[in-house]
């Protein structure tokens, strides 16, 4: 089963990029890559953000 999450659904007011993964771990890794490459997160800021918001982010994961 492929999972997806849309950047805008996860809280970005402008970006509509959708990330995909076969597992939740793969999906989060792809979201992290996008966050670092496009939104300027660092490893540290990504980890901080996810530690505070992971439960909320998981609400937006969909089966694609």
Model confidence, pTM: 0.89
Across the chain, how many H-helices and E-strands are there?
2, 3
Query: pLDDT grade, residue 11 (50/70/90)?
Result: confident
The alpha-helical segments, DSSP class H, found in 1-63 are 24-39, 43-58
SS3 7: coil
Residues in the chain: 64
Report pLDDT digits (tens) over 13-35: 999 999 999 999 999 999 999 99
**How far is Cα 21 from Cα 27, in angstroms, rounded to an integer?**
4
Q: Where are the beta strands (DSSP E) in 1-64?
A: 3-6, 18-21, 62-63
């Amino acid at each position: 089963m492929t999972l997806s999450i849309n950047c805008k659904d996860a809280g970005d007011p402008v970006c509509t990029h959708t990330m995909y993964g076969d597992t939740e771990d793969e999906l989060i890794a792809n979201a992290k890559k996008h966050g670092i490459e496009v939104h300027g997160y660092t490893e540290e800021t990504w980890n901080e953000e996810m530690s505070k918001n992971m439960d909320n982010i998981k609400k937006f994961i969909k089966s694609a």
